[in-house]
Amino acid sequence: MSTEKKEAKQAKKNKSQARPSRAEAEAAVRTMLLWAGEDPTREGLLDTPKRVVKSYEELFSGYGEDPASILSRTFEETDGYDEIILLKDIRLESHCEHHMVPIVGLAHVAYLPGNRVVGISKLARVVDAYAKRFQIQEKMTAQIANTIQEVLQPRGVAVVIEANHQCISTRGVHKPGVSMVTSHMLGEFRENPSTRREFLAMIQSRKCSEF
Question: Which residues are identified as catalytic?
Answer: 96-99, 137, 165, 167
Q: How many Å from the N-terminal Cα to the C-terminal Cα in the chain? A: 34
Cα–Cα distances (Å) from 170 to 32, 132, 176, 177, 210, in that order, read: 19, 21, 7, 10, 18
Q: Report the candidate in 116, 14, 112 with the shortest Cα–Cα distance to residue 62.
A: 14
159-170 per-residue burial string, b: 16 or more CB within 10 A, e: under 16: bbbbbbbbbbbe
Q: What angle do CA 22, 25, 31 make, to 5 degrees?
A: 145
Rounded CA gap, 152 and 73, in Å? 10
Judge contact between 154 and 190, C-beta under 8 A.
no
Cα–Cα distances (Å) from 24 to 17, 47, 50, 58, 118, in that order, read: 15, 15, 11, 18, 41
